Structure 1
Amino acid sequence: MTIPSVTLPCGGYKYSSVHGFIACNDVTTFIVCNPSTGQVTTFPCKATGTCLGYDPVGDQFKALTHVTSIFDHMHNPSCFMVHEVITLGGGGGGLVSRSRVTSPYYRPMTVGLCINGFINERILSFITTPKEVLVWKVHTSLIEYKGKLAVVVPTNCLRTGSSFDRFDLWILEDVTKHEWSRQSFQLPLSLPFAFRRSQRMISQGTNKAGEIIFSPTSLPGRAQPFYVFYFNPDTKSTRRVRIHGVADTEEFWSRHGLTGMCCVSFSPQHDDSIAFL
């Protein structure tokens, strides 16, 4: 689908599929779309870190966004950060309500993740992260792994800066006790990794078979084959899958008027929905 009058910044602001809806930012506008119905809902936001969630109790879609900027707190980190919880839709489009919540100061380093379609409106504390994860910061990938929050950390590309063939999978086992487990995996082949995000292969989640998906963050050169890699943690095997019809023909580039570098985002386990906001 094409979203009219929207130009998305290259390199991010795309979030996971939530009950058939996908959200993204163009800096000042939050966009929620349903690829199955073509519905697009937009509303202004004050930060690029807005993310979409779903309240299963009230059967409502909600967005969490910053009201105050992280830069407002750089000189006074003891101040609280203010957020808005925005309740969406109800079938007629538009917003239903806005409410405010506060949290201690923090600086987001990764794209937000909604697990099981649920977003918490009370930000009371933070989960302590292993120091090995913090070293990588923006170079790590938050994913859902078997229903739990996990972090994929490449382990040998900090030295080479060009590729990796090993990674650690940190899994949050107990959210209350802040307990994490770590599994280390050796890939049967090297995947490209560069500190420039446009030249990187990252994990953006898992499929229903439990395979960890590694995908490029940008399309290959014009009319070149487009590949995605699936790693099975149980069998330690990797399969390479070519996605036909995406970027691999000159007709694709011409039809969409694409030139230069084009960023790519995946929404693993997306389900079709005929719902309307």
Structure 2
Amino acid sequence: MKRKEREEERLCRSRSKIGPIAVDLKTARVTRLPARSTHQEALPQSMKRKKEADGNETSPSSKFDSLPFDLKMAIVSRMGAKSLMKFRCVSKIWSSIIRSRGFIDSFFSMSSKQSPRFIVALANGVCNEPEAKLTFFFSFGESCSSSSLVPNLEMAIPVGLSSIRESFASLHGFLTVGVHGGLMVCNPSTEQVIKLHSSTRFVGYDPIEGQHKALFVESRVSRSSVHQDHKVLTLGGGSWRHIEGTPGPYRPISVGVCVNGVIYYGARNSPHFRNPVMVCFDVRTEKLSFIQAHETLLRWGKDSIFIDYNGKLASIVRYPYDRFNSFDLWILEDPEKHEWSKQHCVFPSSVWDSVWGLEMSFPGTNKDGEIIMAPTTLSPEIGPFYIFYYNVKTQNVRRVRLLGIGDNKEFRRSYGFLKQRDCFVRVAPQHVHSIASL
């Protein structure tokens, strides 16, 4: 409790700018990170003024407290997420209101009605000095008609991405990101981050109970058997709990994805760990099960791709180590019957004219069901940076330019990407602001 109070005091005193970053990465301790935002809203000036020297006039804060409760809620609910974090410091009453489940859910519901944003993580991949490693999170407003978007810096964490293919996803306002040393969970709106245990593989969200949970999977192999330990942690409270009744030994081999409250990840189970399956972890019931998968879905092991496609689990199969001109879209149509559908998609070769490098990531889809594709690295040369939207029905591709990231020399100099050759890029679509605490 005292730690939370000290953390809140730090949040109230801190300035919004990139500076020395203090974070304990060896524990799962919630840490306030410095960040800079070009559109942060300040508290109303009236909230900052003191009482008049003569003491005869009522302070603006007292006038605000005298307003009807419904009116006060209407005013507060229109504030931005980062302003609300400051507004918590006004009084214990307002802190308790803003922290309440009902208010958090109402704020998220209101944010969801607005245009979602997608988050771009940009990290130095070749820096030899650990203290110089930084991952920056930029947000862009998603638009079906715009051909260019302007970035907004949300926050930064003092670690680098672990690779160009590790997990990076937005789950009900939280970001999960694979970094050097494990998995981290961030909330850009509250500028909080936690470092999870090194054996934590996946994070999912239960839309029924409104909870984020982390899944720990650890295998111990002996000459005669394989023993697996599964644990689950509810973010925001509680401790690790053991999961009993797992369906049998298996070997996880792919990055996971959470679809409608179920975490899916590719694996191989007995006999001899050759049978391809999708492991299903129900976030609410905390039960594991297997779905039979086609061999081709797990052909590339850790480089296999799984996404949420219109509310269904889908896999994108392509050659991952070079430019490609087509890919296969596999969709899990019926989880109970283990039925998959397949569609061959043609990818225009001309798209590669706008891409530096040989690889692209498939972070998911937008609200219109278009598949999003993005280069996995930033070009070492100054030039435009594009992401692409693929329409499965028409097989047409449109590109959107992200301004500032690749074509702005001053931008690269400011964030340390000017002289680095390998700068990893990860994208998480359909991000919605949340004021929930980690």
Q: TM-score range by the shorter chain?
A: 0.7 to 0.9
Do residues 129 (structure 1) and 289 (structure 2) align?
no
Q: Which runs of 5+ in 1 are unaligned?
A: 90-94, 193-197
Alpha-carbon contact 2:189-2:434 (below 8 Å) kept:
yes
Alpha-carbon contact 1:139-1:153 (below 8 Å) kept:
no
Alpha-carbon contact 1:50-1:65 (below 8 Å) kept:
yes
Residue 194 (structure 2) aligned to one of 34, 39, 42: 42
Alpha-carbon contact 1:19-1:117 (below 8 Å) kept:
no
Q: Structure 1 residues 37 and 135 mapped into 2: Cα distance closer, same or farther (>3 Å)?
A: same
Alpha-carbon contact 1:109-1:138 (below 8 Å) kept:
yes
Do residues 230 (structure 1) and 377 (structure 2) align?
no
Do residues 51 (structure 1) and 202 (structure 2) align?
yes
Q: Tell me how far 1:14 sits from its aligned partner.
A: 3.3
DSSP-derived class of the 1:162 partner: coil
The separation in 2 between residues aligned to 1:171 and 1:76, in whole angstroms, is 37
Q: Which residue of 2 aligns with 1:99?
A: 241
Q: Tell me how far 1:164 sits from its aligned partner.
A: 1.1
Do residues 85 (structure 1) and 232 (structure 2) align?
yes
Matched letter for residue 98 of structure 1: W
Q: Spell out, residue by residue over 1:54-96, the C-alpha distance to the aligned partner (whole angstroms, 9 max, x if none).
A: 2233322211122x24xx33x558423112211111xxxxx42
Alpha-carbon contact 2:183-2:198 (below 8 Å) kept:
no
Q: Structure 1 residues 261 and 214 mapped into 2: Cα distance closer, same or farther (>3 Å)?
A: same
Alpha-carbon contact 1:165-1:191 (below 8 Å) kept:
no
Do residues 267 (structure 1) and 428 (structure 2) align?
yes
Q: Spell out, residue by residue over 1:202-227, the C-alpha distance to the aligned partner (whole angstroms, 9 max, x if none).
A: 32211111101111111122422111
Q: Tell me how far 1:118 sits from its aligned partner.
A: 4.7
Alpha-carbon contact 2:297-2:317 (below 8 Å) kept:
yes
Do residues 5 (structure 1) and 166 (structure 2) align?
no
Do residues 177 (structure 1) and 324 (structure 2) align?
no
Matched letter for residue 245 of structure 1: G
Matched letter for residue 150 of structure 1: A
Residue 412 (structure 2) aligned to one of 232, 253, 265: 253
DSSP-derived class of the 1:114 partner: strand
DSSP-derived class of the 2:434 partner: coil
The separation in 2 between residues aligned to 1:20 and 1:239, in whole angstroms, is 27
Q: TM-score, normalised by structure 1?
A: 0.82
Q: Structure 1 residues 96 and 177 mapped into 2: Cα distance closer, same or farther (>3 Å)?
A: same
Alpha-carbon contact 1:219-1:263 (below 8 Å) kept:
yes
Do residues 62 (structure 1) and 206 (structure 2) align?
no
The separation in 1 between residues aligned to 2:208 and 2:256, in whole angstroms, is 22
The separation in 2 between residues aligned to 1:77 and 1:168, in whole angstroms, is 39
Q: Which residue of 1 aligns with 2:8?
A: none
More helix by share: 2
Do residues 14 (structure 1) and 167 (structure 2) align?
yes
Alpha-carbon contact 2:190-2:435 (below 8 Å) kept:
yes
Identity, % of aligned pairs? 40
Q: Spell out, residue by residue over 1:129-161, the C-alpha distance to the aligned partner (whole angstroms, 9 max, x if none).
A: 11222323334310111110000112xx48xx6
Alpha-carbon contact 2:165-2:361 (below 8 Å) kept:
no
The separation in 1 between residues aligned to 2:368 and 2:339, in whole angstroms, is 25
Size of the aligned set, in residue pairs, is 257
Alpha-carbon contact 1:213-1:231 (below 8 Å) kept:
yes
Q: Spell out, residue by residue over 1:209-264, the C-alpha distance to the aligned partner (whole angstroms, 9 max, x if none).
A: 11011111111224221111111011221112211121321112211123221111
The separation in 1 between residues aligned to 2:197 and 2:158, in whole angstroms, is 17
Alpha-carbon contact 2:317-2:327 (below 8 Å) kept:
yes
Q: Structure 1 residues 110 and 206 mapped into 2: Cα distance closer, same or farther (>3 Å)?
A: same
The separation in 1 between residues aligned to 2:429 and 2:423, in whole angstroms, is 19
DSSP-derived class of the 1:265 partner: strand
Alpha-carbon contact 1:165-1:190 (below 8 Å) kept:
no
Displaced runs of 4+ in structure 1, greater than 6 A?
Answer: none
Q: TM-score, normalised by structure 2?
A: 0.54
Q: Which residue of 1 aligns with 2:361?
A: 202
Q: Structure 1 residues 76 and 127 mapped into 2: Cα distance closer, same or farther (>3 Å)?
A: farther
Q: Which residue of 2 aligns with 1:116?
A: 260
Q: Structure 1 residues 185 and 12 mapped into 2: Cα distance closer, same or farther (>3 Å)?
A: closer
